[in-house]
Amino acid sequence: MTDTILVFNAGSSSIKFALFPASDPGAGALLGGKISGIGRAPDFIVRDPTGRVLEEDGLEAIDPGAGHGELTIRLLEWLRDNDGGTTLVAAGHRVVHGGRRFSGPVVIDPDVMDQLEELTSLAPLHQPHNLAAVKAVSQWAPGLHQVACFDTGFHRTQPRLAQLFALPRKLSDEGILRYGFHGLSYEYIAGQLPDHLGPRADGRVVIAHLGNGASMCAMKERHSVATTMGFTALDGLVMGRRCGALDPGVVLHLQQSLDMSHDEIQQLLYRESGLLGVSGISNNMQVLQESSEPHAGEAIDLFCYRAACELGALVAALEGLDALVFTAGIGENSAKVRRQICKRLGWLGVVLDDTANNENRTTISGPHSKVQVLVIPTNEELVIGQSTRALMPGQPG
């Protein structure tokens, strides 16, 4: 009987999951899938490692408004009945915010759980969903080994200047700092760099994680030195529904002159802006690329323009650039977006190989490019699986 680790990656309206062999998560997931549409009409899909669908829509009987906790239990029930007799020995969770306390993965006990609950105020739209999955697993399998892996952890190596806002010192001391997110994705890519770049992997590298949520990370010696997201996952790039960097005066104006409440502003900035807000059509890049509407084209242009500008700021933090890596849904699949961003980077010596780019090859820069440009698929779930195994009793420290 195979011992397994179940990995949860809970977002605001979805739970991605993957089941790994506990003996060696690096061997690849035994199965993986996603519950999407949480809070509206949950949809459930499970695939085997070849991508074959094992289950679709197995949740008909469930209340459409069911939350993350209830759906986690349903997933555990489905696995019990369909996992081919494996034994679950641990669960690993993506937890968005580790604050200043947690720079690496941690075994979840009641004391850690209290500390993670306290950090909810720093990520009110994400942290509760992550913790709901932890609580549901505790309810289902009391005492099961559970590990939290943080999106913020990878960035704790940043120099102090990269973390500071120019706010009164008292606020910085209280933890109002630039934390950065998508750390699990960056950790995975950092681990892949030597295979693709050799010694250059330890040079000046920017990773562009372009998905529904999007950010970039500047790395030296494969450690984070700067990133585009700040105190919250709102900052930086244009995203599917989030605005990215915004003059804080706009928020004051919305509040004072347009009389918008906190909840209305939060909804506007997190759910109604970004690609969706600018296009008025969709938050989905693929849909926008297929549209002939001018507003769809303008949303893509703004996404790429702002990505190139934010990249320029990271290059200043790095004092140069040796390699650029695209990852996540848009970064891995959209040749158009990569081309549009790279077109603005000629001043850095970036030369794209159009054929390689159109074919989504791993190296998409030309032979004369001063900067090596790569496409590397990310795998946050694997990082969580490996960290969870590393913290299991009996593993070498």
Fill in the per-residue mask, 51 to 90: x = in contact with ligand ADP (CB under 6 A), - = not in contact. ----------------------------------------
Contact status: 361 vs ligand ADP (CB under 6 A) = no
Contact status: 119 vs ligand ADP (CB under 6 A) = no
* Cβ-based neighbour number of residue 368 at 10 Å: 8
Q: In what order do the strands lie in the sheet containing 214-220?
A: 223-227, 214-220, 204-210, 323-327, 372-375
Contact status: 33 vs ligand ADP (CB under 6 A) = no
Contact status: 183 vs ligand ADP (CB under 6 A) = no
* Alpha-helix runs per DSSP H in 344-379: 354-358
Q: Which is nearer to ligand ADP, 2 or 360 (CB)?
A: 360
Taking CB under 6 A as the criterion, the residue among 35, 59, 96, 285 binding ligand ADP is 285
Which residues inside 306-335 make contact with ligand ADP, applying CB under 6 A? Answer: 328-330, 333-334
Q: Which is nearer to ligand ADP, 138 or 340 (CB)?
A: 340
Contact status: 244 vs ligand ADP (CB under 6 A) = no
Contact status: 158 vs ligand ADP (CB under 6 A) = no
- Residue 151 annotated to the active site: yes
- Cβ at position 103, least distance to ligand ADP in Å: 23
Buried b (16+ CB within 10 A) or exposed e, 178-210: bbbbbbbbbbbbbebbeebbeeebbbbbbbbbb
Contact status: 153 vs ligand ADP (CB under 6 A) = no
The Cα–Cα gap between 38 and 362 comes to 34
- From the candidates 83, 151, 235, 322, give the one annotated as an active-site residue: 151
**How far is C-alpha 339 from the geometric centre of its chain's CA atoms?**
22
* Alpha-helix runs per DSSP H in 319-379: 328-333, 335-343, 354-358
- Cβ at position 66, least distance to ligand ADP in Å: 20
Buried b (16+ CB within 10 A) or exposed e, 152-176: bbbbbebeeebbeeeeeeeebeeeb
Shortest Cβ contact with ligand ADP: which residue?
A: 329
Q: Are 148 and 116 spatial neighbours (Cβ–Cβ below 8 Å)?
A: yes
Q: Which is nearer to ligand ADP, 118 or 301 (CB)?
A: 301
The Cα–Cα gap between 337 and 325 comes to 13
Which residues are known to be catalytic? Answer: 151
Question: Where does this chain bind ligand ADP (CB under 6 A)?
Answer: 211-213, 240, 284-286, 289, 328-330, 333-334
